[in-house]
Structure 1
Amino acid sequence: MKPADEERIAARLAKLMAMICVRNTGIEELHAGTVPVTHTGDYSDVFITDADGRQIPWSDASHLDDDQMRNLMRQIVDRLYTFHLKADDAGFRDHLDRWLAVAERWDEPKLDEASLATIAGGEAKPPR
């Protein structure tokens, strides 16, 4: 297979997997809600007041706790697992084809240089 064909297929698959396996998961709950107003554009002027009265800069605040992160990752892993196991199922592929039209309107993916650097450097750091 030609490299251009491999890249085209990989791009379509990446966008489709993101659409099917990541969108409409718990990430949508994180996206929902009121977006704070920022006049600086970088949210350095936005603070969160916690229950103890601490003023926490928006950029320093965790936006999800460990349980939320764990649940989100479980949901995404389960969807990726389902995607791979059902890839040959005709009904599932029909479902994918319907969503592909939406996913193909997204920006084209690019190589993630940070990921490549981590792989090359052997700096695998497990998350906390």
Structure 2
Amino acid sequence: MKPVDEERIAARLAKLMAMICVRNTGIEKLHAGTVPVSHTGDCSDVFITDADGRQIPWPDASHIDDDQMRSLMRQIVDRLYTFHLKVDDQEFRDHLDRWLTVAERWDEPKLDEAFLATNTGGEAKLPR
């Protein structure tokens, strides 16, 4: 297979997997809600007041707790697992084809150099 064909297939697959395995998960709940108004554009002028009265700058606030992160990651892993196990099933592929028409409208992916660096002896370290 030619490299250009491999890249085209990888791009389609990446967008499709992002759409059905990541986007349509609990991440939608995190995305829902009221977006704060920011006059600076970077939310450095937005603060959250917690139950103890602390003013926390929006960029410094956690927007997902450990339980939510654990739940989200389980859902994504389960969907990726299902994707890989069922990708040869024709009924599942028909389902994927319907989603692919939406995912193909997304921007083309590019190589993530920082991700490559973490897997080739770069400075990023695995969590303990």
TM-score normalized by structure 1? Answer: 0.96
Instruction: In structure 1, give the amino acid aligned to 2:14.
Output: A
1:17 Cα deviation after fit: 0.3
- Structure 1: runs of 5+ lacking an equivalent: none
Match of 2:20 in 1: 20
Question: Aligned equivalents of 2:13 and 2:85: distance in 1?
Answer: 15
Query: Within 5 A, what are the aligned runs for 1:56-67?
Result: 56-67=56-67
1:24 Cα deviation after fit: 1.6
Question: What secondary structure does 2:45 align onto?
Answer: coil
Match of 1:95 in 2: 95
What is the percent sequence identity of the aligned residues? 86
TM-score normalized by structure 2? Answer: 0.96
Instruction: In structure 1, give the amino acid aligned to 2:45.
Output: D
Match of 2:72 in 1: 72
- Structure 2: runs of 5+ lacking an equivalent: none
1:124 Cα deviation after fit: 3.3
How big is the alpha-carbon RMSD for the aligned residues of Structure 1 and Structure 2?
1.0
State yes or no: 1:113 paired with 2:116. no
Q: After TM superposition, what 4+ stretches of structure 1 lie above 3 angstroms from structure 2?
A: none
Question: What secondary structure does 1:22 align onto?
Answer: helix
1:121 Cα deviation after fit: 2.0
For each residue in 1:23-78, what CA deviation from the matched residue of structure 2 results, as whole angstroms up to 9, or x when unmatched?
12110000000000000001000000000000000000000000000000000000
